[in-house]
């Protein structure tokens, strides 16, 4: 079952996670992501939105970097939530809405072969997201200014692409509607 036991990034993904969580400014110890788990939380969303999946890299370098179990369990709520979001919306993976609801809510963590496939899908989004974050935020950056510009450009681009037309009121209205 996901989010219950230690998670390891391997190969090129581990390298990229290391870069995403390492200090990029010698003076002020700035990091883009504070911890590995922050990358792990954000990456699947990015992977899914940008349609980027990637298998585990077992051929590249033998670097590994881990997230420990207790940390995963503490953050389980948010990761479970993200897992549900993705499985509810991935129509390519499962065209039937009813079945997507089942996958998101009923089968979550039941260790059936189908669920293990779903979890595998989620992991591929995680790794695809890492690649994308690396490309957007790290590649071509040589100094503090570059890192900051990359981060801002990425958020700005993301805002334009996905968030510009969304208002919090609209979401809250929908919540009320869904609960009634």
Partner 1 sequence: MLLKQLKLTNFRQFIGEQTVEFAINEEKNVTVIMGENGSGKTTLAQAFTWCLFGDTDFEDKVVFNRSFERKMLPNQEAVVRVELSLVHNGIDYTIIREQLHKKDSQGRLKGNNTTISIAYKRNGQQEFVKYLEVDPLLKQILPKELSRYFFFDGERIGNMSKEIKKGKSQDFAKAVRGLLGLNAFISALEHLKPTSKYGVIGSYNDSYDSKSDQRISQYTTEIEKAQEEVDRIDLRLDEINNEIEKAQEQADKINALLLTMAETEKLQQDKMKLVNSMGKTRQARSSAMGSILKQFNSNYSTYFAKSLVLRTLEELSQASKLDKGIPDMHARTIEFLIKRATCVCGAKIEFGNDAYKELNKALEYLPPQSIGMSINQFVVESELKIKSSNNLFESITDQYKAIRDYESELEQCTADIQLIEKQIGDTKRIGHLQQDLSRYEKIKRDRINELKEINQRKGSLQTTRDRFISERAELTLRDEKNKKIEIYKAYAQFMYDELNKVYKKNEDETRQKLERYVNEIFRSIYQGGMSITVDERYNIQVLVEDENGYSDDVETSTAQSISVIFAFISGIIKMARENGSQQDGENKLLDSEPYPLVMDAPLSAFDRRRIKSVCDALPKIAEQVIIFIKDTDGELAEEYMGAMVGKRYLFSKKNEFETYLIPR
Q: Residues in the site for partner 1, rule: CB under 8 A?
A: 25, 27-28, 30-34, 38, 41-42, 45-46, 48-49, 77-78, 81-82, 84-86, 88-89, 97, 101-102, 104-106, 144-145, 148, 151-152, 155-156, 158-159, 162-163, 166, 168, 170-172, 174-175, 177-180
Q: What is the per-residue burial (b if ≥16 Cβ within 10 Å, else e) of 56-92? A: ebeeeeebebebeeeebeebeeebeebbbebbeebee
Measured CA to CA, the distance from residue 53 to residue 130 in angstroms comes to 10
Q: How far is the CB of 47 from partner 1 (least distance, A)?
A: 11
Q: Would you say 11 or 107 has its CB closer to partner 1?
A: 107
Start-end of H helices in 138-167: 144-158
From the CB of residue 122, how many other CB atoms can be counted at a distance below 10 Å?
21
Q: How far is the CB of 3 from partner 1 (least distance, A)?
A: 14
Measured CA to CA, the distance from residue 123 to residue 85 in angstroms comes to 14
Residue 102: DSSP 8-state: I
Q: How far is the CB of 118 from partner 1 (least distance, A)?
A: 15
Q: Would you say 26 or 70 has its CB closer to partner 1?
A: 26
Q: How far is the CB of 6 from partner 1 (least distance, A)?
A: 21
Q: How far is the CB of 135 from partner 1 (least distance, A)?
A: 16
Q: Would you say 57 or 86 has its CB closer to partner 1?
A: 86
Q: Would you say 63 or 88 has its CB closer to partner 1?
A: 88
Residues 6+ apart with CB under 8 A from 168: none
Tell the residue number behind the tokens 């954000």, with chain if given.
42
Q: Would you say 62 or 164 has its CB closer to partner 1?
A: 164
């Amino acid at each position: 079952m996901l989010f219950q036991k230690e998670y390891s990034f391997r190969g090129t993904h581990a390298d990229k996670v290391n870069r995403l969580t390492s200090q990029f400014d010698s003076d002020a110890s700035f990091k883009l992501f504070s911890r590995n788990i922050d990358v792990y939380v954000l990456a699947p969303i990015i992977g899914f939105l940008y349609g980027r999946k990637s298998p585990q890299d077992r051929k590249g370098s033998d670097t590994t970097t881990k997230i420990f179990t207790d940390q995963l369990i503490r953050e389980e709520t948010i990761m479970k939530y993200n897992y549900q979001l993705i499985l509810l919306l991935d129509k390519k993976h499962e065209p039937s809405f009813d079945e997507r609801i089942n996958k998101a809510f009923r089968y979550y963590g039941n260790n059936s072969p189908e669920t293990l496939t779903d979890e595998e899908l989620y992991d591929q989004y995680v790794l695809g997201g890492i690649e994308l974050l690396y490309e957007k935020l790290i590649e071509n950056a040589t100094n503090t200014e570059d890192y900051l510009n990359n981060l801002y450009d990425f958020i700005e681009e993301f805002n334009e692409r996905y968030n510009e037309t969304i208002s919090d009121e609209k979401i809250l209205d929908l919540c009320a509607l869904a609960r009634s």
